[in-house]
Amino acid sequence: MQHFNDDAFHRVLYTESHDELSQAPDKQRIPELIDPAHASSYRAQKLSTLSAAVLLTAPAIPMLFMSQEFLAWGTWSDRQELDWSKA
């Protein structure tokens, strides 16, 4: 087991990050990785929720990516508003 200064809260955990998704246009968000043809499917959305639940309950500082809490998929832009209908 790897130690981080003997304190779990000295590390940041994430499943999606701005750095990874912005540097390659072919990168996909979690729902798209689960079901590329149907990112809005029940299965893709629930497994994406499970990944966020594990992230938020792990002993570390969680980092959510922009609109990850809405189970977003597809391209993103910091200039585009959130789709609040997914809230």
pLDDT tens over the chain, length 87 residues: 555 677 777 888 888 887 777 666 677 888 888 998 999 899 999 999 999 999 999 888 999 888 788 787 777 767 777 777 776
For residue 13, CA distances in Å to 29, 39, 43, 68, 87 come to: 16, 23, 23, 14, 23
Q: What residues does 32 pair with on adjacent strands?
A: none
For residue 5, CA distances in Å to 52, 58, 60 come to: 25, 17, 12
Whole-model pTM: value is: 0.72
DSSP 12: E
Q: What residues does 27 pair with on adjacent strands?
A: none
Token pair 């200064």: residue: 5
